[in-house]
Amino acid sequence: MSRTTFFEVELLDAKTKGQLCFLDKVDPHSTVGDIKSLFYKSYPQWYPARQALRLEPKGKSLRDDEILQNLPVGTTATMYFKDLGPQLGWTTVFFAEYIGALLTYLLFFFRVPYIYSHKYAFTSSPHPVVTLACVCHTFHYMKRLMETIFVHRFSHGTMPLRTIIKNCAYYWGFSAWLAYYINHPLYTPPSYGELQIKYALITFAMCEMGNLSIHMSLSNLRVDGFRVRRFPMPTKNPFTWLFFFVSCPNYTYEVGAWMSFTVMTQVLPVAIYTLFGFIQMTIWAKGKHRAYIREFKDYPSVRMAIIPLII
């Protein structure tokens, strides 16, 4: 009958190198998440989501699902703790970002006082495209909110409070900037009139449906909040066929929706917002694409990160 060899875990402050906690008789099958929970009992002010544990003071943070006995440590392990600061859950993060962007735009659409000249307070634009743009913008963020509630599955992920403030400033600020020009009393419709608006609207609607389809497909890869070890594949839904060519078609459709919105409104700030969004989503898509290649040896080589055959 084999005996279990228990581990000893010493937790040091990553900055001062001073000892914070010493855990005795830790089960070798314990995860980093379990160690965080034990540490939390001694320091209630640092709940697990706020903790980062590393094997080196400035090394990479360990994942919560990593098992103690599989780490490159002996039976006496030394870990370095870093306080990540106040954290909020992803659901709260998305609600703050999306509701703020949604309401900010509506303030300009209804032309509340002190935004434009007093004589335009609570008036409406004579151009139908302005109302259509508001409907599309509202639909986009309402869809995001519904996805946050019913589609996305979060595995206890959190974000630092300071990052949330920065993200909200980005979403709310850009929403205000777009809305100011689209709903401005001097706004003029697109150059090619109804034809330009019509085709842009059709493309926008298709991209929104595609984005939703991809999010639902990705959600099906998670069981009880944990991702199943397989990469996403096309299904019978035609919108998912973009998986044949790119790793992150949700970003592809997102960029397509904002490009359509740009064509529909023909406003420069919308084009700038679309460009910034494309750059950021390309960074995210490339990161996920590389992760898929590392994890799956049979990952399709034809796939690109976000744009078929290009990026």
Q: How far apart are CA 95 and CA 86, in angstroms?
A: 17
161 and 80 belong to one structural domain: no
Q: How far apart are CA 259 and CA 251, in angstroms?
A: 12
Cα 193 to chain center, whole Å?
35
Cα–Cα distance list, 292 to 63, 226, 246, 281, 286 (Å): 17, 16, 11, 16, 10
Q: What is the mean pLDDT of residues 13-19?
A: 93
Residue 65: closest CA among 157, 161, 163, 160: 157
In a domain, 272, yes or no: yes
97 and 176 belong to one structural domain: yes
Q: What is the mean pLDDT of residues 77-106?
A: 92
In a domain, 165, yes or no: yes
pLDDT tens digits, 177-221: 999 999 999 999 999 999 999 999 999 999 999 999 999 999 988
In a domain, 137, yes or no: yes
For residue 218, what is the enclosing H or E element?
helix 193-219
172 and 257 belong to one structural domain: no
Q: How many structural domains compose the chain?
A: 3
220 and 247 belong to one structural domain: yes
Q: Residue by residue, what is the 3-state secondary structure of 44-59?
A: CCCCHHHEEEECCCCC
Give the range of the structural domain holding residue 48, as residue numbers without chain letter: 38-85
Report DSSP letters for 146-171, one per residue. Answer: HHHHHT----S-EEEHHHHHHHHHHH
In a domain, 15, yes or no: no
Record the pTM: 0.83
Q: What is the pLDDT of residue 229?
A: 73
Look up the CATH number of the domain holding residue 46.
3.10.20.90
In a domain, 257, yes or no: yes
47 and 106 belong to one structural domain: no
47 and 134 belong to one structural domain: no
Q: How far apart are CA 280 and CA 248, in angstroms?
A: 13
Last residue of a domain, one of 188, 216, 248: 188
Last residue of a domain, one of 188, 214, 248: 188
268 and 180 belong to one structural domain: no
Amino acid at 235: T
